[in-house]
Amino acid sequence: MQILKAKDYEEMSRIACNLLVEHIQQNESPVLGLATGSTPEGLYRCLIEEYKKGKVSFHNMSTFNLDEYVGLGVEDANSYQWYMTDKLFAHIDVPTRQIHLPNGISQEVEQDCLDYERQIQEAGGIDIQVLGLGLNGHIGFNEPGTPFSSRTHAVELAQSTRRANARFFSGIEEVPTQAISMGIASIMESKKILLLVSGKEKAEALYQMMNSEVSESFPASILQTHPDVTVIADELALSKVLEFYGEDGGIPEVEEGKAR
Ligand code: F6R
């Protein structure tokens, strides 16, 4: 696991952006796994800027999002489809047919989940999966207790996750109780994982992700076993890790992240 330390949220976003732009420039048909939430917003802003400056084109890119709320359709401003369109896809040249999100209003959830997995395989698998980190260690919407063998599936959202996401809605009662999420096994098959973590409130979760025993009770702990994980975290998110190991280089893997 490689840990890149960023000064702050902006630097974290820029380091991640540089890494993705480089991958997209160097690959004929890049396949990215994308996340929503607050954490990747700065990354998406940066990708749009790079596109507008003419530094990168997304015409060959395919994308697969981690998750979608059950019951929210494309035209719902709280759906992840809307989020992705608003925060990234509408501003770059990725063709619509190359964009994939789980279908939140599916009438045939099981079949659609199988189809989603198949589409990922047909695209050649995910090259780089961008992840955020839930306070309870969830990745995608795989809450504590989700089997490590899980594939794209319907999930019940933990009350703590609904509470954390209520800020995007008019109240917690508006937050859907279910979602469709890529499973943990699906996420782990990505060739590379880019975990972005920002802010003091994530410090404990990041520490646990790196140090707790690998257990389904803290889903992100599985990342310790993936062969190619890069964590880009800002100083606040790394505060507990640094406090534990000591600021001056106790953890050999922590490097200063470089933002071009
Ligand atoms: C979003 C997702 C979630 C978030 C996590 C952190 O697609 O899969 O796992 O990454 O809940 O959310 P933020 O970034 O809002 O703190």
Sequence ranges of the domains in the chain: 2-256
Residue 260 has pLDDT above 70, yes or no: no
Task: Tell me what pLDDT residue 250 has.
Answer: 52
Question: Using 50, 70 and 90 to split pLDDT, how confident is the model at 247?
Answer: low
Question: Using 50, 70 and 90 to split pLDDT, how confident is the model at 248?
Answer: low
Query: What is the C-alpha to C-alpha distance for residues 47 and 93, in angstroms, rounded to an integer?
Result: 11
Question: Using 50, 70 and 90 to split pLDDT, how confident is the model at 121?
Answer: very high
Query: Residue 250 corresponds to which tokens in the numbers above?
Result: 């106790």
* CA-nearest residue, atom 4 of ligand 1: 132
Return the amino acid letter for 12: M
Question: Using 50, 70 and 90 to split pLDDT, how confident is the model at 244?
Answer: confident
248 CA distance to ligand 1 middle (Å):
30
Question: Using 50, 70 and 90 to split pLDDT, how confident is the model at 257?
Answer: low
Question: Using 50, 70 and 90 to split pLDDT, how confident is the model at 254?
Answer: low
Number of the ligand 1 atom closest to the C-alpha atom of 35: 7
Residue from 71, 73, 3 nearest 244 by CA: 3
* CA-nearest residue, atom 5 of ligand 1: 134
Q: Which CATH number fits domain 2-256: 3.20.20.70, 3.40.50.1360, 3.30.450.40, 3.90.226.10?
A: 3.40.50.1360
Which of 11, 68, 127, 143 is the catalytic position?
143
Query: Residue 207 corresponds to which tokens in the numbers above?
Result: 């520490």
Number of the ligand 1 atom closest to the C-alpha atom of 80: 7
Residues with CB under 6 A from ligand 1: 35-39, 66-67, 132-134, 138-141
Window from 116-125, 200-209, 217-226, 237-246 with minimum mean pLDDT: 237-246
Residue 252 has pLDDT above 50, yes or no: no
Query: What is the C-alpha to C-alpha distance for residues 221 and 209, in angstroms, rounded to an integer?
Result: 5
Residue 38 has pLDDT above 70, yes or no: yes
Catalytic: 256?
A: no
Residue 74 C-beta-side C-alpha neighbours within 13 Å: 6
Tell me the per-residue pLDDT of 161-177, one tens digit each, with 9 for 90 and over: 999 999 999 999 999 99
225 CA distance to ligand 1 middle (Å):
21
* CA-nearest residue, atom 11 of ligand 1: 134
Window from 109-123, 215-229, 243-257 with minimum mean pLDDT: 243-257
Number of the ligand 1 atom closest to the C-alpha atom of 132: 10
